[in-house]
Amino acid sequence: MRLHSLTLRNFRGVAERTVQLPAIGTTVVVGDNEVGKSSLVEAFALVFDFPDDSKSKRIADVQPVGHDVAPEVTVELTLGGRELTYTKRWLKNRSTELSVITPDGRRQTFTGREAHNEAERLFNENVDPVLWQTLMVSQGQSLILPTPADAEPLITAVTAESGTPVDGASMPLVSAVEHEFLRYWTPRGRPTGDFAKSAQAVTAAELRSAQAAKAMEEVVADIRRAERLALDLEDLTTRLAEHLKSVEELRVRKKETDEILLRRDSVRARAETARARLENHTRTRLERERLLSEVERFTLAAGELAELRAEADKVAKASTDTLHAAEAALAEVVELKDDRRGDVQHAEQRVSELMDRAELDRLTGQQTELADVRTRIAAASRVLDGIKVTDALVAELEDARAKVVEARAALAAGVPDVLVRRLGAAEVSLEGTGLDAHGADVPRQLAEGAELSMLVSGELHIGVPEQLEVTVRAGGDAASLRSLVDEAVRRETDLLKRAKVRDLPAARELLRKSDTASAELQEARRTERSLTAGGDPGERIALLAARLGVFGDEPAEEEAPKGKQQPAVENVPGQMSLFEEFAEDAFDFEDMVMPEPLAPDDLSGAQRALEDARAELATAERLLADAEFAAAQARKAADEDRSEAQQARARAELAAERVAAATAELESARAVLADEDVDASEEKATGEVEAVLDELTAVQEQVDAAGADRVEGELADALAVAGRLQGERDTLRDSLRTTEGRLEQSGRDGLATRQDTAELELSAVRAEHENLQRRAEAARRVHETLGRHRAAAQTKYSEPLQTRIEALGRSVYGPTFRVWLDDDLAVAERELDGNRLRIESLSTGAQEQLAIITRLAISHLVSTTENSVPVIFDDALGWSDKARLRDMGTLLGRAGDHGQVIILTCMPDRYEYVPKATFIKLQ
């Protein structure tokens, strides 16, 4: 059979389409989903299976929904050497027409039921139904491996190629043997009939005999078990008594070792006390050494100062004689020096004032920057508090948006897309349910010259008053598709409400703003921590302002003007706003009034003036020294010498006070502990520490020798073992009592009599079963002998198909490819690179590829017979990688050299490697 063309009219979603197919070669029919590729195969099946007056649901299903039209199919094909043109229309204006051109060129025409019957007869005569179903792979069935053992054309082809008859034995003999075999065995070799009942009777008798024997064995076992349990119980009781003695010994040992451990703890405590005492004595020694050193050092310094004092007094007495002569000159120099010292003090005051002003300016700028930073912190915090969008929520929104798009795409693909255009002046009204104008509102009236495209998932009524009314109804899946769209939109709306945004881009923008605000908040808080690292500058500003006399002009209690509110920093732990800290004093740092500075105004100038004043003061002091020296010439500088004497006296008195204080502290310490006792006390404490450590070492050796640290653990382990042995003893005692009870009950049940009766019954049923078994085994041996001969013949005639599959498969998988067929000529196992696997263990792609290779091999074998049929693949090779697609494409191209291969697909890229393929694009 060869298909030449197929024409569909009003068939599902196809208004009218004709597809021309080459009689030989590989043809790839390409089209999008829902374009009607699978309808071509369905139409070919319906045209031969159902007469034009059929009421079948399959015929009703192909009528377009909402259209009162007649589905129609026309097929042109070659069948058994005849050229057929077959047309059939169902439901409305039903008709059937068949045109047949015989091999000798005669044309025959048939109509109605006669045409249907003749087409059916020709199809059944020339097309083997098993072969047709084997080589036609419908959508979603590409993974099903063919089992073509009942395909007569294939059996004929392999028989002719192998030269082996299929039967292998005469049918009367085979039937007789099969009949006799089935008297005793099922087709799968299991006992049946009287033979199975006999086996069941033997099994039941054996069970009863075994139960009786088992009961007797259990009695014997209970006797032995009771004896063993009694011995075990006696042994365990002895072991337990011995172990309990060991436990008591450990208890006594623990009491003895507890005393050693208590003694060790006591020695350890005394050792700690001795160490602390030694540390105290060491500190006392170091302190005494320090006091002795200070008294010696202060006494030496006091002696030196006393000598200096005496010398100074001597010089002062010598200079008294010339004091009155130099008073006038000295007074003038002293006055000059005082003037110069006043200039220095004034300059120092000016430098200090300018430095305070510079520090105040710096702190004021820092406070202003801190206020700005805290304003930024508050603003960023308010932004973050107002944003409800998170990364997770945006991810949910993106998923919800994708689901809305998918649902609307599915709705657009599954419901009618209606385009309404108003051409004239007559009014056009639009009403209905489930209307979607691609996001726009559906008007009640269509304006003149306007057009509107909409998806109809419910029902649409288009009306032209007194002229036309059109109703468009969606199919059965429209409601579910619309509900999916509504659910997706509802979920997206709920998420948008949660995020408080109008759409996904707005959510993304808010998320971006949130990230920016978070970064701004972190940066501002770092800046705030930097500005307040040395403390809040507000207190220092207030002190400097009070020192400099800075005051504000405005009342402090006035409210801050709008738009310049003080920044809130409640969200910054541990920090306080400067404005909150000094709110009661109402200190306005921006309105501070600075006093007019004295010249010079700059700090560097003031420092230079200070240096000049100090230089002039130094000059005045030198003049004073000269005046004093001159007075000393006259009266030996009495005033200067007196001053020096007073200073020497003061230093000597201070040194004496230090000596007295150090001596008093030393005497106080000696009153507590004499010098000679300090070292002795430390040596004594050291000896005590060494003695107690020696004692601790000795006690620890006793602890180690007695194993005192291990006794408590050993006792706990021994108690645990004693508990376990007591539990085992109780368990053995209970088991012994239970076993003795069963033995007492068995003595009252008469088990020996029951065993004898069961053995007699078993002997009788065994004799009957052995008789039937001999006949059944004979029937099976004859059946198996004939089966082996038939299997050998079948193996021989399956070789052509196996060889053809392996030849095609090696072009894809390489030279190590092999297959094994089962009794139904289906591929059961595959070997590749020495790895042999069952078909079920292969990957999905490998199973699909092997199914395609098997069908191409079958097609190749029967291609030269009159019963050959096209190979049709609908949506195959969906699980193959690119390398396999290339190899399978080459194989499909070569398969077209021997017959007609038709491929239906919405993915033409899968078949771009098919050489010499004819591509037909369905629009």
Distance of CA 184 to the CA centre of its chain: 62
- Indicate if the alpha-carbon torsion angle 54, 60, 62, 65 is positive or negative: positive
The pLDDT assigned to 32 comes to 83
Farthest-apart Cα atoms in the chain, separation: 175
| Cα distances (Å, whole numbers) of residue 562 to 371, 565, 566, 682 | 16, 6, 10, 77
Q: Is the pLDDT of residue 87 over 60?
A: yes
Buried/exposed code over 296-314 (b: 16+ C-beta within 10 A; e: otherwise): eebeebbeebbebbeebbe
**DSSP readout, 443-495?**
PSEEPTT-EEEEEEEEEEEEEETTTEEEEEE--TTHHHHHHHHHHHHHHHHHH
Model confidence band, residue 587 (pLDDT cutoffs 50, 70, 90):
very low
Q: Is the pLDDT of residue 472 over 60?
A: yes
What is the C-alpha radius of gyration for the chain, rounded to an integer number of angstroms? 59
Look up residue 521 and give its two tokens: 């908040």
Contact 851, 142 (CB under 8 A): yes
The DSSP secondary-structure symbol of 24 reads S
Amino acid identity for residue 480 in this structure: S
C-alpha span between 289 and 171 (Å, rounded): 132
Give the Cβ contact number of residue 203 at 10 Å: 12
C-alpha span between 845 and 256 (Å, rounded): 81
Contact 763, 206 (CB under 8 A): no
C-alpha span between 878 and 487 (Å, rounded): 31
Question: What are 279-299's pLDDT values in tens digits?
Answer: 888 888 888 888 888 888 888
Q: Is the pLDDT of residue 660 over 80?
A: yes
Tell me which residue has tokens 């299903």.
61
Question: What are 661-675's pLDDT values in tens digits?
Answer: 888 888 888 888 888
The pLDDT assigned to 561 comes to 42
C-alpha span between 635 and 646 (Å, rounded): 18
Question: What are 322-333's pLDDT values in tens digits?
Answer: 666 666 777 777
Of 9-23, 182-196, 527-541, 748-762, the poorest mean pLDDT is in 748-762
The pLDDT assigned to 867 comes to 61
Model confidence band, residue 739 (pLDDT cutoffs 50, 70, 90):
confident
C-alpha span between 101 and 109 (Å, rounded): 9
pTM surpassing 0.75? no
Of 41-50, 60-69, 591-600, 748-757, the poorest mean pLDDT is in 591-600
Question: What are 787-844's pLDDT values in tens digits?
Answer: 666 556 555 556 777 888 888 888 888 889 998 887 677 888 999 988 999 988 888 8
The residues, any chain, with a CB within 8 Å of residue 191's CB and separated by 6 or more, are: 184, 185, 199, 776
In three-state form (DSSP H/G/I as H, E/B as E, the rest C), the secondary structure along 816-846 is CCEEEECCCCCEEEEEECCEEEEHHHCCHHH
Contact 16, 8 (CB under 8 A): yes
Question: What are 344-356's pLDDT values in tens digits?
Answer: 888 888 788 888 7
State which of 168-177, 299-308, 644-653 shows the largest mean pLDDT: 299-308
Model confidence band, residue 559 (pLDDT cutoffs 50, 70, 90):
very low
Question: What are 428-471's pLDDT values in tens digits?
Answer: 888 888 787 766 778 888 888 788 888 877 788 888 887 888 88
Tell me which residue has tokens 């507890």.
258
The gap between the terminal CA atoms of the chain, to the nearest Å, is: 27
